[in-house]
Amino acid sequence: MVQEQRELELSWLAKSFETRVWALEKQKDEQIWQLMLRTMELERLRSSLQLENESLQTISRQNQTTIQSLNQAIDLLHRENEEVKSHLAEDVGSCCDMADVTTRVEREGGVSGDGDKLGVRVICGGCGSTEACVVFLPCRHLCACDACGDDTSLCPICREEKSSSITTLVF
Ligand SMILES: [Zn+2]
Ligand SMILES: [Zn+2]
């Protein structure tokens, strides 16, 4: 009887041990599964970060391209500005040259009493007696007095047709 009981106990122990082992294995499986899930999640995160990084690099490259083209545009504007300036200087030069021929430029020596700071007076190319104060457009020649500026349709200096005119302020 004692022997039987012991066998029974032993088999019960063995069963319960098996059950525990099975539970532990199941738990382990569960943990492995969880780890796999987390690994997969991390992989996914990593690839999305990689994508993000790549797109950021693309944006950064695009920004650099934009900055480069902006710099080029600024350079171009600078060059155009310089060109316009030198053209203007040429124009002013040629205006003075031609003014010597067609109008009378008087260079007043000493202190000028009438407040002409440059000491240069341009005489009207129309009447030849009054100081010129009207600039013809588009040629930009300062070439006529108020009265002649209204009457004349061709610039007395370069003969270009007047589209409009500006009356200058003489201090
Ligand atoms: Zn005049
Ligand atoms: Zn002109």
* Torsion over CA: 96, 99, 101, 106 (sign): negative
pLDDT tens digits, 104-141: 455 544 444 444 455 678 899 999 999 999 999 999 99
> Quick one: which ligand is closest to 143's CA?
2
Residues 81 and 141 in one domain: no
Tens digits of residue pLDDT in 12-50? 888 888 888 899 999 999 999 999 999 999 999 999 998
DSSP states of 102-143 as a string?
HSPEEE--S--TT--TT-EEEBPTTTSSSBP-EEEETT--EE
Q: Which residues surround ligand 2, an ion (CB under 5 A)?
A: 139, 141, 155, 157-158
Residues 75 and 129 in one domain: no
- Domain-located, residue 81: yes
Residue 145 CA to ligand 2 center (angstroms) comes to 14
Domain ranges, residue 162? 122-170
Q: Domain count of the chain?
A: 2
Distance 146 CA to ligand 2 centre (A): 16
Residue 103 lies in a domain: no
Of all ligands present, the nearest one to the C-alpha of 152 is: 1
Domain co-membership, 83 together with 27? yes
Which bound ligand lies closest to the C-alpha atom of 165? 2
Residues 75 and 15 in one domain: yes
| Band of residue 101 on the pLDDT scale cut at 50, 70, 90 | very low
